[in-house]
Amino acid sequence: MRKAILFIVLASVGVVLLVIVGIPLFGRLTVFVSDLRGGNKAISQNDTIPPGPPKFNFFPLFTNQQSVSITGGSEAGATVKLTFNGNTQEGLADKDGNFTFSLQLRNGENTFSAIAIDPSGNQSQKSKENKITFDNKPPALAVNSPVDGSSFFGSTQRQVTIQGTTDAGAQVMINDRFVSVDDSGNFQYTTTLNDGANAFIVKSTDQAGNTTEKSIILNFTS
């Protein structure tokens, strides 16, 4: 009789333990397995979204430096393929998406564009085509009138106009004053002479930063 009572008590305790401990533990195990399956499913998903076209930072449109570096931005970790004057080279965007290419320019116009390929193999559209013109030749410059060393006399000749030509698109300064240049490269500058020798420095600077200078002296006697 005692054994039967002991068996009943132990069985009751086992049932209580199963309800209190076993069922919640089984539930937690079920949730863990479910989460694990969900995590594996997320990891197995493929990235099918292509990156945007690479974007270039500021670069000169004209330069007298043959070696230039161009920088830009893309998706972090993407391979950037640069097409420069018809040839392709590759670079890698860093963790912030920045990339840099060093270029050797040829005389005249140089063109470049780029695409980006992300780590999943998705390819962007091509960026717009950009241009850099390399020019290391100084601009032409001529002071046509008055002739260097010319002399002027009296109040009617005190005011003179310096006229000349340079490359179209160049910037002209005479004694540090900007002078207008027309589409054909012609310029003129009117000034008033002082008694004695009047020195004028004419400087032309083209779009690439090359310069040419000429100086003239005009004499005036009142």
Residue 13: C-alpha distances to residues 114, 139, 222 (Å): 74, 103, 129
pLDDT recorded at residue 10: 52
**What is the per-residue pLDDT across 74-103, written as a single tens digit (0 to 9) for each?**
999 999 999 999 999 999 999 999 999 999
Determine which helix (DSSP H) or strand (DSSP E) holds 3, and give its type and residue range: helix 2-17
Q: Is the pLDDT of residue 71 over 70?
A: yes
**Residue 147 · residue 214 · CB < 8 Å:** no
Length of the chain: 222
Label residue 27 by pLDDT band (50, 70, 90).
very low
Does the pTM exceed 0.85?
A: no
